[in-house]
Structure 1
C-alpha cells in the first residue's frame, strides 16, 4: 500500500493527481468555456446588433461593462453560499441561470418599457441591453472564484498553477474557438426563420450553458471524501497533502477568518493588480472583433473577422499553459508573472500607434492577450498561499469581485474614448499600458522570491 506522508511513492502520487485532474478539470473547463462564450459573444453580436438597435460605441461600451457591476455586487455572497451548500449544487445553479438569461438577449429588440426607459433618457433597446447585461452579471457572479476555491479542496499550492491554467485556458480558447463559430452564426444564420444573425448567436450559445450546468449537478463531487472514483489510499494521499499545505501556510502569515480578509494589505494589493489586468483583458474581450474588422475586413464578412480574432487567443492559450507549467516546475512566480505583464504593456504601446496596420495590429493584440493570460494563471497561486478556511472563500471572492470592476472600466473607457475621437482608441491603449506597468510592479512586490516545490 502506498504511504500518504512525505515518503509516498512519487509514481503513485503523480497517478493520483492525474486521475483527479482528469475527473474534475475537463468539466470545470467546459463550464468556464461556455461562460466566457456567453459573456463575450456580445462583442460579435455588436457588429450587427448595434446598427439594428441604434446602439452607439459609448452605449455598447457601458452595456458591456455593466455586466461586471452586477457581478461585483453578488460575488462575495455567492462564494460564501458555495462554501455552505457545496460546489456541485451552486455551480450548477449559476450555469443554468446564466445560460437562460444569455439566450434571452435574442429578444432585446422586442422589450417595451413604456415611460420607464425614458426616465433614464434611454431608448427601450438601450434600457433592455443595460438591464440584461447587469442581470447576467448577477447570475454568473461566484462561478470563477468558486472554482478557484474548489480547486483548493483538491490540489496543494505546489500543483495549483498548472491546474488553474488548465481551467483558465478556457478564456483564450473560448475566444479562439468561439470567434469563428460566432462569426459563422452571425453571417450564415442571418435571416433564418425570420431572425437576425445576432439573435441566433445568443440563442445557440446560451443553450450549452444550461446543459453543462445539469451535467455538473449530476457528476461533480464536492470534496475528495465524496469522490467514489478515488480509492481509500488515493483519498488519504490527497487529504494528507492538503493538510501539509495548510500547515505550511503559517509561514506566510495565514489568514483563517473572514474579518481578516479586509485588514490584510496583501488582499487589497492583489485586488488592485487584478483590477488593472481586468481593465486590459475585458477591453480586449469586448472590442477585439471591432478592432479586427477595422484592419480592412469587409463589414459583412463576419466569419473572416472570427478567424482573425482567433489568432491572438489561440497563441494566448499556448502561452498561458507553458508559463504556468514552467512556473510550477521551477517554483518561481515573480519573474513569470511580471514579465508576462510587461509583454502586455509592450503590445498596448504597439496598438496605440498601429493606425490599423493589419500585421502590427494582430501582433499587438496577440502580445496583449498572451501576456495577460499567462499572468492570470500564475496570479491565482498567490492568495491561496496564505488564505485558509473562511478567509479563502471570502478572500478569493473579494479579490475577484474588486477586479471585476476593471471589467466595467475597460470596455466603457474604450467606448467613450472612441466615440469622442472619431473611432480612435489610441489614448485608451496608452492608459492601459500604464495600468499594465503598475500591475507588473505590484506583482513584483507581492510574488516574492522562488519557493521550493514539494513532492
Structure 2
C-alpha cells in the first residue's frame, strides 16, 4: 500500500467512524477492569492495622506481602501475554479478572502470616498480563495515530481508582464492622474481590477479538480498519524483531524497559507515601482532610492525562512531551521535598499535583513506542518484558526511599523524596534519545 493511500485511509470518514465506534464500545469496559484491578492491588493498605490486631501479622510480614505481589507479577507476565496471543484477549482478560477476583476475595479468610504472603504472591500471579494484555489489545484495534489517545483513556483508570478507592474501601470496612461475626476488612476484601469477578464475566461479553469479529462495525468500517492495521503490522514485521527470543534480545525493548522502570519508581514512590507526605506538609493526622487533599492530585491528573494524550499525535510531539514531562516529574518531586523542609504546605501540595499530572501523562506516551515496532509473539514477549521489569520499580521505590532516609538520618523524609526525583531526569535523557529510533512506521504517524 502506498504512502498516499495510507494517508487517505487515515483521514477517511469511514475509518474515523470505525475508530469512534470501537472506542465507545471497548474503552469503558477496559477502564472499569483497570479500576477494579487497582482497588484489589492497593486495598491491603486499609487492612494493615486490622490484620496485625486480628491475625497477628507483623509489620515485616506485611511489607514482604505487599512487595511480593510484584515478584509474582513479574515472573508470570510474559507467559500470560503469550497465552493471550494464543487464545485471544476476550477469553484471557476475562480469565485474569475472574481468577484475581477470587484470590482477592480469599483475603477475607486470611489466618496468619503464611496465608497472607501466599495470597499476595498469588494475586500478582493471577493479575499478571492484565496491563500489557490491554496494551496489546489496543494495539490490535487502534492505529498508531490515535493510540496514545486510547492509552490515555485507559490510564484514566489509575487516578479515578485512587479517587474512589479510598472512600469505597473505608466505607466497606465501616459497614462490615456492623455485621455480626465478621470484621470490616473481611467484608472489604470479599466484596471488592467479587467486583473483579463480575468485571471478568462482563469482559467476555463486551470485548471482541479484532475488528473482523465486530458486529457493531459495517463491512466498510471493518475493511478500512483492517487495512490500516495490516499496513502497520507489515511495517513492524519488516523493521522490528520477529519472535519471542528476538524481542527479548532487542536493544530497543531494553531501552524502553529502563525508561518504564524509572517512571514506575517515581509513580510508586509518590503514591505509596502520598497520604503521609500530605500529612507531614499540613501537620495534620491522616484522616478525612488529608484524604481529600491526597485525592486532589489525581483529579488534576485526570485532565492532564487526557489532554496530553490527545495532543501527542506525532513522533516529535511524543518525544518532546515525554522529555518535558519527565523533567517536570523530577523537578516537582524535588520541589515537594524542598517545600516540606521549608514549611510551605501549599507549595508542596502544588508540586505534588504537578508531579502526578506529569507522570500520569507520560505512561500513554511511553507505551506508544514499543507498540509501534512490536507485533505478534514479539509484542507479547517485548511488552511483557517491559512491563514486568519496569513494574519492579514498585518494589524498589519504597526500599530506595527508606534506605536513603536511614543513611542521611532524614527525620523529615526529604532525603528519600530527593532520591526518587533523580531517576526521572535519567528517563528524560533517554526519552529525548528516542529520536535515534525513527523508523518507517513513523512516516505513517506523522501524516
**TM-score of the two chains, using structure 2 as the length reference:** 0.88
Give the Å deviation of 1:194. 4.6
1:129 pairs with 113, 116, 129, which one?
116
2:89 pairs with 87, 93, 99, which one?
87
Q: Are 1:61 and 1:416, in contact at CA under 8 Å, matched by a contact in 2? A: no
Partner of 2:249: 263
CA distance in 2, matches of 1:346, 1:62: 31
More divergent stretch after superposition (415-424 vs 66-75): 415-424
2:372 pairs with 382, 385, 389, which one?
385
Extract unaligned runs of 5+ from structure 2: none
Q: Are 2:176 and 2:186, in contact at CA under 8 Å, matched by a contact in 1? A: no
More divergent stretch after superposition (233-242 vs 346-355): 346-355
Whether 1:350 and 2:335 are equivalent positions in the alignment is yes
Give the Å deviation of 1:50. 5.4
Alignment of 1:374-453 (within 5 A): 374-414=361-401, 424-446=412-434, 453=445
Q: 1:255 to 1:187 in 2, by over 3 A?
A: same
CA distance in 2, matches of 1:55, 1:99: 22
Count of matched residue pairs: 434
Whether 1:327 and 2:312 are equivalent positions in the alignment is yes
Q: Are 1:58 and 1:412, in contact at CA under 8 Å, matched by a contact in 2? A: no
CA distance in 1, matches of 2:80, 2:365: 24
Give the Å deviation of 1:175. 0.7
Alignment of 1:231-380 (within 5 A): 231-249=218-236, 253-294=239-280, 295-299=282-286, 301=287, 303-328=288-313, 332-353=317-338, 354-355=340-341, 358-380=345-367
Give the Å deviation of 1:398. 0.9
Whether 1:220 and 2:207 are equivalent positions in the alignment is yes
Give the Å deviation of 1:168. 1.4
Q: Are 1:272 and 1:403, in contact at CA under 8 Å, matched by a contact in 2? A: yes
More divergent stretch after superposition (175-184 vs 286-295): 286-295
Q: 1:168 to 1:447 in 2, by over 3 A?
A: farther
Q: 1:393 to 1:250 in 2, by over 3 A?
A: closer
Please, what is the CA RMSD of the aligned residues? 2.7
Q: 1:47 to 1:447 in 2, by over 3 A?
A: farther
Q: 1:67 to 1:392 in 2, by over 3 A?
A: same
CA distance in 1, matches of 2:171, 2:344: 25
Q: Is the partner of 1:153 in helix, strand or coil?
A: helix
**TM-score of the two chains, using structure 1 as the length reference:** 0.87
Q: Are 1:36 and 1:174, in contact at CA under 8 Å, matched by a contact in 2? A: yes
Structure holding more helix per residue: 2
Extract unaligned runs of 5+ from structure 1: 112-123
**1:37-89 Cα deviation digits (max 9, x unpaired):** 11122233336555665666655444322211100000000000000011111
Q: Which has the higher contact order (CA 8 A, sep 6+)?
A: 1
Q: Are 1:149 and 1:392, in contact at CA under 8 Å, matched by a contact in 2? A: yes
